[in-house]
Structure formats: structure tokens, C-alpha cells
Structure 1
Amino acid sequence: MTIPRADMPLPPQFVFDDPAAYELMMGRWSALVADPFLDWLALPPGLAWLDDGCGNGSFTESLLRRQRPATVVGVDPSPEQLAFARQRASTVGVRFLQGDAQALPLSDASVDAAVMALVLFFLADPQQGIRELVRVTRPGGTIAAYHWDMDGGGFPLQPIRDAAHADGYEPQKPPSAWAATLEASEDLWLQAGLLDVRTTQIEVCRDFDSFDDFWRTAQGNPRLRDFFASLAPSVLQRLKGRVREQLGVAGGGPLVLKARANAVQGRKRQVVHTHVASDAETA
């Protein structure tokens, strides 16, 4: 696995600014991964959690429902996403803060568990993002993430990407898609000095009422939305037909699609206090 050099220029930060569209598209996909991810972490209730890159609060809802945490802090760079998250009835009591995952607005060792749900590959500098997770987590605490298996074809909108590629187009990937593989995730967690590093894959299925329902949700991805807008109407219709053909959808019936996420977790080292015996103690 090749990690970009420190002297390489960083890609621009990517921010979602349409929370309703995000909920329709990626929020619902993320919620499907959240429960098996939290089961895999197997952490006790009553902890202080950080939902780093909380977006519109989709994962935050699952966290509150499943973990019964003592406290939750959600951090995201998008004010629009945070406003949506605050309006969810179940997130009352969550402390939502606007901030950058690469410079978290939290004090050192202030949470027991820090997670990123579908965030790592959007960071311009994933290594710095992980360093921040380590900084704000207490010794012995858990640091974890899940992200779509982009290189392995696990992205929920992969059928559209494949059809576009077959037509000679290449929709833009997240800026740090390289970090989303199991190998890269494990390496990044180990390089951060974390212990008991483990990885797993989580496959989920989502039902759509029809192909048009699926196609409509794709508009919630800003990069894909911009890509569609760049195409001539005839080209866009050809692309849509290619996706429909690829999925084997002839009529207007229901559709079931799969996606796959790569997950990683590790534990922050405990602080070791070394006692130096005095002359009196050794006498």
C-alpha cells in the first residue's frame, strides 16, 4: 500500500452542503452499516463518544439508540449538515460543533471512543485526521472508522461509476480514496501507534421502489450531480440506459442493491508511569 508523501500537494477539502439530499442518498446507506459496525466494536454503554464528521446526524442516531452513551459530541465542517442534525428528535442532548476533522475543536483525552463514519476518504490528509482522533481519545479508548470499499467495487453508486467509465467518462473519486482499502486502513491505524488493530468488511443491501427511485437518490452525491450536469441530455440518457441495463432492470419494479464497507478499529495506548526510586527507598 502506497501512502502519499508528506510533500505532495493536498486535495481540496470536500464539504456536503445539502443535508436533505445527503439523507436520501448516503445517510440511509450509512445507517445500514451503523448497526453491524457498532456490534463489531462491542463497546459497553455509558461512554463518552465523538462522532467525527457527523454530517446530518445519520450515524449519530444509531449511536444514541444502540450504545446508550453518557455523552456524544458531533463535529462537522458543514453548517447546513449540523443544522439538519440538530433538528432530529433523537439527537437532543448531543453537542454539535462546526469544525475540521484535521483540527478538532476538542481538548486532549476528552472522549472514550472516537469514530468516523464514511469520512476518512474525504479528508485531504487522512493521517492528520487519525492523529486528531488519537489526541482527543483517552488512553485505552477506541478509535474506529468505516468507509466504502471504493477500489473493491463496494461503493453504493458503483453501477453508475462503471457505466460512466464504459462510456469513456471518469466521475471524480473522493480526494483520499486510497485510504479506504482494508490494507490502507490497517496501516494507517498501526502507523498512528494504535494497539489491537482489527479490520472487517460489512456488506449491506438496500431496497428501492424502482430504478427511477435509485437514480433519484444518486442526485444526492454532489460530485455525481455535477457530473450529470456536465453531460449533454442525450449523453445523460444513454448513461442512464446503460446503468439500467447493467442492473438488469427492464421494467419499473423494485430493485435491491448491495454495498460494502471496510471497517477498522484500534485502541489508544495506556500511559505508563515510571517510578524512580529515591535513595531512601533503596537504602
Structure 2
Amino acid sequence: MTDSIRFDDGASYERYMGVWSQLAGADFLRWLAPAPGLRWLDVGCGNGAFTELLTTHCAPAALHGIDPSVPQLEYARTRTALRDAALREGDAMALPYADSMFDAAVMPLVIFFVPQPARGVAEMARVVAAGGLVAAYAWDMHGGGFPYHVLQREMRDLGAVLPAPPTPESSRRDVMHELWRDAGLIEVESQELTVHHSFSSFDDYWATIAGWEAVSRTLATMVPEAIARLRERLRECLPEDAHGRITYSARANAVKGRVARASVVATSSTGAP
């Protein structure tokens, strides 16, 4: 049994995942192509890495974020771009908002951490007004799309026990599409997003992964010989270029749909054409 994953250090998360999140998030927003002036909700906003993109790309009329981690929220509040955002502690499966309060709700890199993903999607649909947008993107955990897939694979091969999200299968493109359909959302579409990121050197890569709390706790359980072997294997799997940089890609699955208007729901329920 693996330990649960916790996100309590906004600064280390920023270096470990923030850049990746914003790279995929920018592609995600280009795909969504939302109108300006919407009322947005970021479910699982964490340290605000993606929430910040909403302010710079979407000109929101209002911006709310919710996350279970108080330390992550505290970090998010230090971002100048989020000074007017309403960020609060809460649960994705029981959103503390009124029905139809938002025009758009997004769940960035979060759905595989939600114990009951269907409930999380249903809650987003509930708080979004008719015709509004419900969307998410998530690393393709099953397909090896996670940015640190190679690291996790090599650590497991060396016998390390790593924490895992509760519902990794919910990051599959077909599963996400089904979750959106089952929530009664219409015009459901899905998309694959591929992004690339460079580290200045292997030492930069190692400092990034070792600084992340979940990885550092696991490394602390490994003997020095195993850590040395891990470094060696990572160098083989992630070779440096002529300038000493390490560049590789990550892949996410994205999904979007709209909340049905009352007339659409009525037509569907009667079976009328």
C-alpha cells in the first residue's frame, strides 16, 4: 500500500510541477478558446500556477479557486496576478458554491486526486450556469505522459514505494469523456496535449525532483547505493544535449463540455426530436 500524496509546500511544487502545469495549461486554454469576461472557478487551484493563467489569458469578470491545502493557498495568494481572486479551502466533491454561480469551471491536473471523480464532475456542472463550460486536463498517467514518469519507473524498479493518486484511471481520455457524458454535459470533446520542457543540466533536474516533498521522503528510505544507481539510470534515460540541457516531453488529456440549457434537457427527457 502506498502513502497518500500531499501538497503542502507551494514553493517546491512550483519548481517541480508549476512550470509543467503552465505549459500544458496554456495549450489547454488555447484549445478552450473561452470568451473574455467569464466568471471562473478553478477546482484544485493548489499554489495558483494555472489560476494565474486565467488572469493573464482570459480577462475573467470574477475568479474563484478552491483547494484542500491551506499552505498551497497561502502560496497562491502571494502571486500578484491573483490579488483579486477569491481563494478558499474546500473539497472538490462538495463545492461550497451556489448552483449556476459560474460561467466556467476547470479542474487542472486534479481529477486523478479526487476519490470519486464522477462526484467532482457533477459538482462542477452544478455550479456552472446553463450553457457554461466545464473542462479539465490531466497527465496521461496510464500512458506514461506524466512529466516524471521515467523517474517513477526507475525508482519502482529499484524497489522504492511511491505514493500514488487514488484514481489514476480517471486521467485516461476515454474515461474523462465518459465522466463528462455521465454528468449530463453536452458538446463533449477531448484532446491530447503534448508539451516540452528543458532543465539546464542533470544537476538542475536532480535538484528539482529531490526538492519535491513526496520524492524526498522516498529518497530518504533508500540506501546510498540505490540512490547512486538511480542517478546513473536517470542519466542514461535522460541524456544531456551538447549544451548539457535535458529536454523531454509530457502528455496530458483534456476534456470539455457545456451545461445543457433547460430546453435541451426537456427535449432529451421526452425523447422528442
Same fold (TM over 0.5): yes
Q: CA deviation at 1:223?
A: 3.0
| CA shift digits 1:174-233 (9 cap, x unpaired) | 111010010111111111111011111111111111111112211354332322121112
**Is the 2:189–2:256 Cα contact (8 Å) retained in structure 1?**
yes
- The amino acid of 1:81's aligned partner reads Q
**Is the 1:244–1:250 Cα contact (8 Å) retained in structure 2?**
no
Question: Per the alignment, in what secondary structure is the counterpart of residue 77 of structure 2?
Answer: helix
Structure 2 residue aligned with 1:213: 204
Q: How does 1:65-84 map to 2 (within 5 A)?
A: 65-84=56-75
Does residue 240 of structure 1 match 2:239?
no
Structure 1 residue aligned with 2:40: 49
| CA shift digits 1:2-32 (9 cap, x unpaired) | xxxxxxxxx9974410000000111111010
Does residue 108 of structure 1 match 2:108?
no
Q: CA deviation at 1:170?
A: 5.2
Structure 2 residue aligned with 1:182: 173
Does residue 145 of structure 1 match 2:153?
no
1 CA distance for matches of 2:145 and 2:265? Answer: 47
Structure 1 residue aligned with 2:126: 135
1 CA distance for matches of 2:230 and 2:183? Answer: 42
Who wins on radius of gyration, i.e. which is larger?
A: 1
Structure 1 residue aligned with 2:113: 122
**Is the 1:15–1:77 Cα contact (8 Å) retained in structure 2?**
no
**Is the 1:35–1:62 Cα contact (8 Å) retained in structure 2?**
yes
CA separation of 1:159 and 1:34: change in aligned 2, threshold 3 A: same
2 CA distance for matches of 1:131 and 1:14? Answer: 24
Normalised TM-score (structure 2) = 0.91
**Is the 2:5–2:164 Cα contact (8 Å) retained in structure 1?**
no
Does residue 171 of structure 1 match 2:162?
yes
Does residue 92 of structure 1 match 2:72?
no
Gaps of 5+ in 1: 1-10, 276-283
Query: RMSD over aligned Cα, in angstroms?
Result: 2.1
Aligned residues between the structures: 265
1 CA distance for matches of 2:103 and 2:22? Answer: 22
- The amino acid of 1:52's aligned partner reads V
Question: Per the alignment, in what secondary structure is the counterpart of residue 258 of structure 1?
Answer: strand
**Is the 1:12–1:124 Cα contact (8 Å) retained in structure 2?**
no
